[in-house]
Structure 1
């Protein structure tokens, strides 16, 4: 099963395409309703607007054999601890070996941005066609590994 942190996920259409090919169920989690294909493999869970409500629901469903797709590093860490595989929309596989460094870097960047407010330091680079292609390849590999 694929669990998607869907509010700002730029690769939902790609997830659907690969899920249909693998006949793998997809659950979308978001604060409010998002349009999605009317297909028995796709379900939508509206978490409401409480802080981390969607994250909590995703973690509750996470475990061995599930794949979580998210850019949210604290959510990724929680899902990994629950036994899930984790993939970012840019095709990066997150795991126990790299999540600690990624979290530390995230925290450092938050502190740097706060310390130099108004100095023009930006966020992550824009999402590209190459990122989309990398994601598709990584998603296929991970699903094969999970036996989907």
Structure 2
């Protein structure tokens, strides 16, 4: 089992890296070259950079993701595909994607896209808070304990 992070905009990379080390798990960060970083990570962390083309990171994640891996993403479409591979999928706001909630999440994304396409505005995500980080940490530890 490994933990993969759709890491271009993930605010929980450091939390995942710290908790994975405690459990002896490998972490794979997948990011586009547009988000290249010179940050040096511990030995249990691998960084994979992909082209900046739309969905390039998602395609690479799906190539590498295996059953029983954990994926951290805020992308509902990628989450849906990962659930199909029997991976555990977590959102950085502290909830787990599952077959019961993914359809509603995808539908709300579709409706928001339709509204934006018609020229109207929709609300963006709320800022990530310290409480969100702690909620995510608890969910990740609970998931790793299973």
Give TM-score, length-normalised by structure 2: 0.91
- After superposition, the C-alpha distances for 1:99-140 in whole angstroms (9 at most, x for unaligned) are 1111001111121233353x5x42111111111110000011
Counterpart position of 1:20: 21
For 1:5 and 1:49, the matched residues in 2 are separated by: 13
3-state SS in 2 of match to 1:63: coil
SS at match of 1:135: helix
| Cα shift at 1:77 | 0.6
1:92 equivalent to 2:95? Answer yes
Q: How does 1:24-35 map to 2 (within 5 A)?
A: 24-32=25-33, 33-35=36-38
CA separation in 1, counterparts of 2:118 and 2:53? 28
Q: TM-score, normalised by structure 1?
A: 0.90
Count of matched residue pairs:
143
Gap regions ≥5 residues in structure 2: none
Which structure has more strand as a fraction of its residues? Answer: 2
Between the aligned partners of 2:131 and 2:19, the Cα distance in structure 1 is: 17
> How many angstroms does 1:36 deviate by?
4.2
Shift in CA distance, 95/38, structure 1 to aligned 2, threshold 3 Å: same
Displacement of 1:38 after TM fit? 3.1
Mean alpha-carbon deviation: is it higher for 30-39 or for 97-106?
A: 30-39
Q: CA RMSD in A?
A: 1.4
Q: Does 1:73 align with 2:69?
A: no
Unaligned runs of 5+ in 1: none
Name the stretch that deviates more: 63-72 or 30-39.
30-39
